[in-house]
Amino acid sequence: MIDALIWVILIPLLGGLVAVLFPRIAGITGILSTAGMVFACLVLIKLVADSGPQVYLVGGWSAGLGISLYADGLSSLFLLMTAMIALAVSIYASSYFRQSHLRLHYWPLWLLLLSALSALLLASDLFNIYVTLELLGISAVALTALDGKRPAVEAAVRYLVLGLLGSLGFLAGVALLYAAYGSLDLATLATRIQPGAASWAAAALMTAGLMIKTALFPMHFWLPPAHANAPAPVSAALSALVVKAAFYLVLRLWLDLFGVSLSGGVSTLIGLLGAAAVLWGSWCALQAERLKVLAAYSTVAQIGYLFIFLALILEMPVGIPRDEAIAGLMLMALSHGFAKSAFFLSTGIIQQRQGHDRIKELAGAVQGMPVTTFTLALAGIALIGLPISGAFLGKWQLIDGALYLHDWLLALVVLAGSLLASAYIFRVLGQAFGNSPYPTKVLSIGMQEIPAMVLALIATLVLGLASGPIWPFLEVTVMSGRAGM
């Protein structure tokens, strides 16, 4: 049963190869591969829930020499989110790209991007993480430049340059760690690492590199053009999955590798940058002219929330409140993933039907498609963090954690951020109340609207009410996992 780890990576990869060889059946291959990926993830989660974190030694060699894959609560939950969003986006894309010639190039790149994501989420070897980061970066850039128009290609160029700089920073960190501690495996390094010049510099470089890739505040300027000009299914994947995978790595590094010995002043810096990202991202989203630019800046803000959460977790002593904070962080990340992908998919529907996504002239389209508007509203609620949504519980834990550490400023920033978020979300939803004629059909493009709505419902109802089992699953597997090896 342990092969589920490898299957999660192989299914999309093989799907990608088939899509290259037989372009005509690329759409069906895409949907089937993502469905297979969801099934494999479910098997993996059951496996991790029953017998704790799983280690898979690729090629049978011991973790020092060979490469090992590691799946614990954190990675398997991220994986399940990735798989579910991938399935919804694939169903959406098979209808979105039906007429366009881009269909030919979209599917192989999309499926290889998915295999890069699962490889990254399961990686437990530093250089292997570097290779998956590159695979992810290059496929994301290729997908961003898919429609070949000038703004998209310019955005892709800037995205590539910064992505490469981020990877170089990460590789420099890996080089230093290998030079100092002679191993690439996360678990062995965790036992060997001590505070010193090498580990400090490596931590700084790797975190800086990954911060570029997560588009944290000062280095966020490449994200809005890239996510706003990419085709809708691509920008949904970029915002919900790709940026979050880079954050997952920062989390993994600081929780398992650097966390104990090195946190010190770093958490205050991360907290400050996160707070700045929240305010700046929300402020720019408020000024955005186009819906997709608004969504992109909202991603910048949400990444800010995650980094604030990380700063709090690093300051907390190991114990129950810290485990709850990590679970809260996960809930916020998952909820943002589902909500943001639903938001982008709905924007894509509006853009395809209306020809543009300028917020001021949205009234006609928004009122003509009740299901799309309903999805936008649900996704908006989850992005703000209003009740019945996973983000609400995440925000609750975030403010609780801030108060636990008597960090009033961060708590107020979080509140201000969510008020700004409600300002820019309801600026869009306000368009839904003109008096243009009521539409005859409730569902206009089923194949596109249903996946988007399902994602929005997951973000709000499922994560809002039924997220009970996530907490014990996370607390057991994240904390106990690392010490064992």
Partner 1 sequence: MLSVQMIYGLAGVLLFTFALRVALSQVAFLRRVLAINVAGAGLFLVFISAAYKGAGQPADPVPHALVLTGIVVAFSATALAIALARRLHRPSDDD
Partner 2 sequence: MEALIWTVFDFLLITAMLALGWSALSTHSLRRGIALFIAFGLLLSLVWVRLRAPDIALAEAAIGTGLTGALLLAALRDEESAAGAASTEKPKNTIADYLLIAATVILALILGWALIDALMNRQYSGLANEVFTQLDRSGVTNPVTAVLLNFRAYDTFLELAVLLVAVLGIRSLNVSRRPYLKAGLVLSGLTVWLVPVLIVISAYLLWVGAHAPGGAFQSGAVLAAAGVLLRLSGYHGAGLPARIVIRRALMIVGVLVFAIIGLGLMVLGRGFLEYPLAWSGSLILGIETAATLSIAVTLIMAFLAGETGRAGNQEDSSC
Partner 3 sequence: MSFDNLLPVFIVMSSLVPGVMIFFLREGSHRIRTLLNLLGAFLKLLLVGIMIWGVFHERVYETQFLIAPGLEFRLHADALSVLFVTLSTVLWMVTTIYAIGYLENSPHRSRFFGFFSLCVTATVGLALAGNLFTFLIFYEVLTLVTYPLVAHRGTPEAIRGARIYLTYTLVGGAVLLFGIIWLKSLVGTVAFVQGGILGAVDPALYPQLKIIFLLLMIGLGVKAAIVPLHGWLPKAMVAPAPVSALLHAVAVVKAGAFGIIRVVYDVYGVEFAHELGLLIALGIAASITIIYGSLRALSQDNLKKRLAYSTISQVSYIALGASILGPVATIGGVVHLVHQGIMKITLFFAAGNYAETLGVHKISEMDGIGKRMPGTTLAFTMGALGMIGVPPVAGFITKWYLGVGALNAGVGQWILPVLLLSSLLNAAYFLPILYRAWFKESQGAWPDERIPAGGLETHGALLWPPIITAIMALAVGLLAAAPYSPLEWVQLIAYREYGQ
Binding site for partner 2 (CB under 8 A): 3, 6, 10, 13-14, 17, 20-21, 23, 56-61, 64-67, 101-102, 104-105, 108-109, 112, 115-116, 119, 127-128, 131-132, 134-135, 138-139, 141-142, 145-146, 148, 153, 172, 176, 178-184, 192, 196-198, 200-202, 204-205
Strand, coil or helix: 466: coil
Of 82, 418, 448, 477, the one binding partner 3 (CB under 8 A) is: 418
What is the residue-wise DSSP string for 98-130? SSSTTHHHHHHHHHHHHHHHHHHHHB-BHHHHH
User: Please, which residue, 149 or 358, has the CB nearer to partner 1?
Assistant: 149
Residues 433, 329: Cα–Cα separation, whole Å: 35
Q: Is the dihedral of CA 71, 394, 213, 153 positive or negative?
A: positive
Q: In a 3-state reduction of DSSP, which class is residue 206? A: helix
Pick from 179, 409, 419, 447: which binds partner 1 (CB under 8 A)?
Answer: 179
User: Residue 92 is encoded by which pair of tokens?
Assistant: 């959406």
Q: State the DSSP H helix or E strand holding residue 301, giving kind and residue range, or none if neither.
A: helix 291-315
Residue 168 binds partner 1 (CB under 8 A)? yes
What is the pattern of x (binds partner 1, CB under 8 A) and - over residues 119-148? Answer: --------x---x--x--xx--xx--x--x
> What residue 154 binds from partner 3, partner 2, partner 1, none (CB within 5 to 8 A, per partner kind)?
partner 1
- Of 104, 396, 450, 485, the residue at the interface with partner 3 (CB under 8 A) is 396
Supply the minimum distance, in Å, between the C-beta of residue 281 and partner 1: 23
Decide if 457 contacts 380 (C-beta within 8 A): no
Indicate whether 104 belongs to the interface with partner 1 (CB under 8 A): no
Measure the CA–CA gap between 21 and 169, rounded to whole angstroms: 36
The correct pick among 35, 154, 400, 476 for binding partner 1 (CB under 8 A) is 154
For residue 362, the surrounding DSSP H or E stretch is none
Q: Where are the beta strands (DSSP E) in 306-423?
A: none
Strand partners, 55: 70
The residue (of 233 and 380) whose beta carbon lies closer to partner 3 is 380
Binding mask 418-457 for partner 1 (x = CB under 8 A): ----------------------------------------
Tokens of 228: 């706003």
Which is nearer to partner 1, 22 or 61 (by Cβ)?
A: 61
Length of the chain, please? 485
Selected range binding partner 1 among 154-162, 232-240, 383-391, 455-463, rule: CB under 8 A: 154-162
Instruction: Give the one residue of 32, 58, 157, 276 binding partner 1; rule: CB under 8 A.
Output: 157
* Residue 461 interacting with partner 3 (CB under 8 A): no
Judged by CB under 8 A, the residue of 167, 267, 397, 477 near partner 3 is 397
At residue 57, φ and ψ (nearest 5 deg) are: -85, 105
Which one of partner 1, partner 2, partner 3, none interacts with residue 157, CB within 5 to 8 A by kind?
Answer: partner 1
Question: 253 exposed, middle or buried (CB, 10 Å; 0-12, 13-18, 19+)?
Answer: buried
Cα–Cα distance between 57 and 79 in angstroms, integer? 19
**Does 459 sit near partner 1 (CB under 8 A)?**
no
Region class of 231: left (phi > 0), else alpha (psi between -120 and 50), else beta: beta
Contact between 364 and partner 3 by CB under 8 A: the answer reads no
| Shortest distance, position 91 Cβ to partner 3, whole Å | 21
Alpha-carbon distance of 294 to 232, in angstroms, equals 14
Minimum separation from the CB atom of position 247 to partner 1 (A): 22
What is the Cα–Cα distance from 168 to 171, expressed in whole angstroms? 5
Contact between 422 and partner 3 by CB under 8 A: the answer reads yes
Q: Which does 161 bind (CB under 5 to 8 A by kind): partner 3, partner 2, partner 1, none?
A: partner 1
Neighbouring C-beta atoms of residue 387, cutoff 10 Å: 12
Three-state DSSP at 378 gives helix
Q: And the tokens for 418?
A: 């969510």
Footprint of partner 1 (CB under 8 A): 127, 131, 134, 137-138, 141-142, 145, 148-150, 153-154, 156-157, 160-161, 164-165, 168, 171-172, 175-176, 178-179, 184
